[in-house]
Each structure stands twice: as C-alpha cells, then as structure tokens.
A and B are shown apart, each in its own frame.
Chain A
Amino acid sequence: MLQERVPDVSKYVEPDRVRREVYTDPAIFELEVQRIHERVWIYCGHESQVPKPGDYYTLQIGRQPMVMVRGSDGRVNVLYNRCPHRGNMMVGDRHGSSGDFFRCSYHAWTFHHDGRLRSIPMMDSGYAGTRYGKDHPECSMKRAARVEAYRGFVFASLAPEGPSLKEFLGKAIVAFDDMCDRAPQGEVEVVPNCFRVIQKSNWKIFLENQLDALHPSVTHQSTGRAAHEVEKEIEQRTGAAPLAYHMLSAFATVTIDKWDNFQTLNYPQGHCILTGYMGLRPKDPDTLAYEAVMEKAYGRKRLEEILGVNIHHVLIYPGLSVQSPLQQLRAVRPLGVDRTLTEIWHFRLKGAPEAIYRRSLAYYNLVNSPATLVNADDLENFWKCHQGLSSEGGDWVNFARHFGKDIERDGRVETAANCGTSEAPMRNQMKAWAQYMQGA
C-alpha cells in the first residue's frame, strides 16, 4: 500500500525546512493527488468560457479527466469525461459544443448535460432482464461531487464532504472581488484564448515562486534592464513610453533591497496575498477616463475603495495564481511528479474602456505568452531546482528567510515590516500541505 511506503509525511515538513522527497518522490506525488488535488476545491474555468447550452471545456482535476458544460437550464455542470458504458471519453476535443446532449462516439448512448442518461439505442430490448436500465446510477455520467461558482469562477471538489467554496477560499476570495469590482459592470468576461505551458518540475516549485519577492530582481534582471533601456530611449524620443515597458522595467528598477518593503499575508489552507508594487493608477488620460466611468457606476467613495485595494498577486492553494489588478489567472495542473501544466487566461472588465483592456492584454502577451520575456527564466530555474532536488547533494529545502519574525494575528500570518522577502509564503504552503497529507 502507498500509505505504508510513505509512513508519516509530517516528518518531511519542519517549520523552516522541507525534505527534498516532497518534490521528487513519485509515491508522495500519488498521495498528494489523492489527498489534496482530488479533494479540495479546484478551479475549473470561468462561466463565460461556456456561454451557450451545450458548450463545454475539458480540464484535469488530479488524475481525473473532467468536462465543464453548460446545461439547457443555464447551469454549469462538471462531469467526469467518461461514458458509463465502456469508459470511452465523452468528448475528445479540448473545447466545443455538444449540441442538445452528449452522444458517445462509440455506441451512441446519449446524456443530458447534467450527466443523466437520455437514451441507449434499443434500450428496452437490449437491457430487458439485466440489472441495468434508465434509472440505474451506473448508466449516467458521474458528476463531480460538488460544484460551486463565485462571481463566475467555477470550482469543483471531488470529495463529497468538506468546507464550502467560500469557507475554503477565506480571505483569498478577494482575488475575484478585486478583479470583478474593477469592472464598471461588476463582472469580467474571459478572453477566449488559453496559453498552455509545461514546466519540467514539481507543481509546488511553481507555487513557491509566485510570491517569492526576492527572485524577480535576480531571475528577471536581464528583461528588466533591457526594457528599462528601451523605455528610456522611447521617453527621450517621444516623451512617454507605454505602460507595458514599466511592467517589465520594474524588475530592474525595483532593486533587490526594495522588495523587503512589500508584504505577504498568509492564510490557513495555504493561500497567500502579496501586496502590490505595480503602480497601475497613473494620471494619464486613459486612467482618468476609466475612473470617470467607474465613478458613474459606483460613486466616488466606493471607487476609491475599489482602486485602493493593494494587491499584486493572490495564490489560492494548491492550484491557482491570480493577478487581479491585471485580470490574469494561471491554473496549475500537476501532470506528474516532475511535470506541471499551467493554463493561462486573461479577462475583460465589463464596461471598462478598451485602453484598460489593452494593459491587461500587454501583460498577457509579454509576460504570460509562450514567447514570454519573463517566465522563460523562471522555467529555467524550476527545471534546475527539480534536477538539483533529485540529487543526494542534500536532504533539505531551506525556507528560513526571516523565520521567527512572522506576526500571527486575526487568523493569518503577516510578514513583519521590512520583511517582504520573507519565505513565510513557502512555510505557510508547506504547513497546509502537511495538514492535507495527514488527512486534515
């Protein structure tokens, strides 16, 4: 049994360090799939990905191929992508329309979009006297145990018991509020394009990098400096450079010592918020025009509250990284102990001027596309980390930066003043990991 091979995972995690096998042992990975990914709330997609009844999008939860589909009643369902007859995958495309019902390509069993059996060819003659029939549960497509949405973001859990989506998200729910509130209509709409990039490393290495405030000025120095040079040239030539250059040059101009000024807020379940640095409220005509639309929609007081939210990044453990002020989202899908897929999306703020969407788009293209000027060096580090951790050159991964200075209050762990580069997010993620792995 797997459980016997991995006797007590809590021994692998100490408050300020973690055993290397946590990242590299295939048996631990299998246990993670069972105890974390196939139990907790996993992001499936946004409702606007499936606007019409019958529209579907496939995804993987842990090891399970799933399909998110909109039913004729308008509800979004999440089903196992499997025909109950002989196990054929119901849809083979990544996304599309299934029409009025699902129809298996093998023996033409058909199903409603909530998974219920609709018809079997010659059912009465073929199944008379057998244990099977229209109402037998094994003749319907299996549904995810629980499906819930928050402001259009659909999550599923494969465990029938557990906290509700809202309880699970806790304070990290601000990721979706911050994104949607920035829209004059209070909603976002997906831009129908998904960039998919594979990294040859354990999924946790990606998550640990997301709120690692020490790495940008080291890892992304080359891009920061290059963008800064070109930004200055454009400014000299034309007076002002597009905001996109600032998004890139910040990697060089926010020097390594300044990152300690930021703060991370760490929550139970492993979620974490990095407070912001982007400076996305300049006084240019585009921003002012947007603020005028927002003021009309919300009033001055509420507008200030919305645009005053100081977030750069929200990590929803174990599989979602949200940059709400730029309307970007990365879903992390572990494929194996040393292979991880990221699915990268961005959103339009409904009712906002086109110029504001262009900021989100510029970030999506430059930072998150498969020709990224930024993530290339992250992926290189992730691969090198995984290779190094596979060796016997040491047993531990060290998360001791600013350890002992964390402040616990209001049910969260805050990094202390001038400790923004603290490895508190990694410590917090591993604490949640150990709890999940012990069946908590």
Chain B
Amino acid sequence: MTDLQHEVEQFLYRQSELLDTKQWQAWIDLFADDGVYWMPADPAHRHWDGVPSIFAEDKNLMAVRMKRVLHPDAWSQRPLWGTNHVVSNVVLEKAPPEGEIVVRSRFHMMELRRDDVRHFAGAYRHHLVKTDGGFRIRLQRVDMTNAQATYDYVLQVWV
C-alpha cells in the first residue's frame, strides 16, 4: 500500500468518525474555505451549482445546519438518534504529485432514530488538497443509491 493510499483512507475514516460522534464543527473544518458538500438529486448532474440538490452546502450553510442541530429547540433532534458509517473500496482516481487528489469510496450508513432503523448507502467522491494541516475537501460528492427513493422522514445532517 502506498503512503498516499493509507493517508487518504485514514482521512476518510476520520471524517466519518466525526459524523458518528457528532463533532460537527470538526467535520466542517475538514473542508477548504471554498469547499462544498454536494448530494445530487440526479446522478446525471455534473456540477452542484444551479440544479436541484439534496445537499449543496458551502461552509456558511454548513454552519446554519450545525447551529440548528445544536439549538435546544430543534425538536426533531431531541429523540435518541445516532449513526454508524462504514467506508470502504477506497480508490485513488487522480493523484498528481502536486494539486488536487480525487478519491472514490463506498459507504454504508445505518441510522437509528427513536425506534426506527434506516440504511443509506452509496459512493463518495472527494476532491482533496494537501495543506500544512492535512487534507482539506474542495468538493465531496455523495451519490446515494437510494437518493431517488421516497424518504420516510428526512435527512437531518450530512451523510
């Protein structure tokens, strides 16, 4: 295994761990200042801007979501609620010596909310840049296999 492969995998595992442990600010900090988290409404869409999306959030909108979730009167956040992510099949798609790294992976997320279990699965595609503080995400595309299915209830935070 190359060092880069290992480094990237560790980064992806840490990112999902931050979601499962609800460390929202630390999760947001993994994005570059102009970073975007995007879950397309349509797998055919190629760019996040100007099309309907399930999520299309820059760091400002991520901050709104985090502050909402942490607000004591976010009623839907009150019940017992947790997730468990498994990330795998990590493939380096582009790894030039300098510049942006593109990495594909697969995820499976199980969610418990009150007494209901839901499963979401799909593919991540991360565009990463290397900084002194480690990798930062320029764009994370999340293609959920069940993105087009009906939602029994909604998604409260990032997948």
Contact = CB atoms under 8 A, between A and B. Distances in A.
Interface in A106-136: none
A198 B152 contact: yes
A358 B50 CA distance: 7
Given A197-B154, A376-B154, A376-B156, A227 B64 contact: yes
Given A225-B67, A248-B64, A371-B55, A195 B75 contact: no
B60 A230 contact: yes
A380 B64 contact: no
B68 A222 contact: yes
B65 interface: yes
B53 interface: yes
In this complex, the interface size class of chain B, counting residues with CB under 8 Å from chain A, is 20 to 34
A193 B44 CA distance: 12
A365 B56 contact: yes
Given A358-B50, A365-B53, A371-B55, A226 B154 contact: no
* Among all A-B residue pairs, the 5 with the closest Cβ atoms: A226-B67, A222-B71, A380-B76, A222-B74, A370-B151
Contacts of B71: 221-222, 225-226
Nearest to A335: B150
Contact of A198 (B63, B64, B72, B151): B151
Contacts of A370: 54, 151, 154-155
Contacts of A379: 76, 153-154
A197 B60 CA distance: 26
A364 B51 CA distance: 10
Interface string A354-379: 10001001001110011111011101
A341 interface: yes
B75 A196 contact: no
Contacts of B42: 193
B111 to A, nearest CB: 13
Contacts of A380: 75-76
B156 A198 contact: no
Interface in B100-159: 149-156
Contacts of B64: 223, 226-227, 230, 245, 248, 373
8 contacts: A193-B42, A195-B54, A223-B74, A225-B71, A226-B63, A230-B64, A369-B54, A370-B151
B30 interface: no
Of A193, A199, A375, chain B has the most CB atoms within 10 Å of the CB of A193
B32 interface: no
B154 A221 contact: no
A373 B154 CA distance: 10
B36 interface: no
Interface in A183-200: 191, 193, 195-200
Interface of B: 39, 41-42, 50-56, 60-61, 63-68, 71-77, 149-156
A358 B53 CA distance: 12
Given A361-B50, A365-B56, A379-B76, A371 B68 contact: no
B75 A346 contact: no
B150 A372 contact: no
A222 B54 contact: no
Contact of B150 (A341, A354, A365, A376): A341
A371 B155 contact: yes
A369 B53 contact: yes
Given A226-B67, A234-B60, A375 B154 contact: yes
Interface string A227-242: 1011001100000000
A377 B154 CA distance: 10
A417 to B, nearest CB: 30
Given A196-B150, A369-B41, A377 B52 contact: no
Of B75, B155, B156, chain A has the most CB atoms within 10 Å of the CB of B75
Interface in A359-408: 361, 364-366, 369-373, 375-377, 379-381
B146 to A, nearest CB: 10
A365 B52 contact: yes
Contacts of B50: 354, 358, 361
Contacts of A225: 67, 71
Contacts of A381: 75
Contacts of B39: 371
Given A221-B71, A230-B67, A341-B150, A346 B76 contact: no
A219 interface: yes
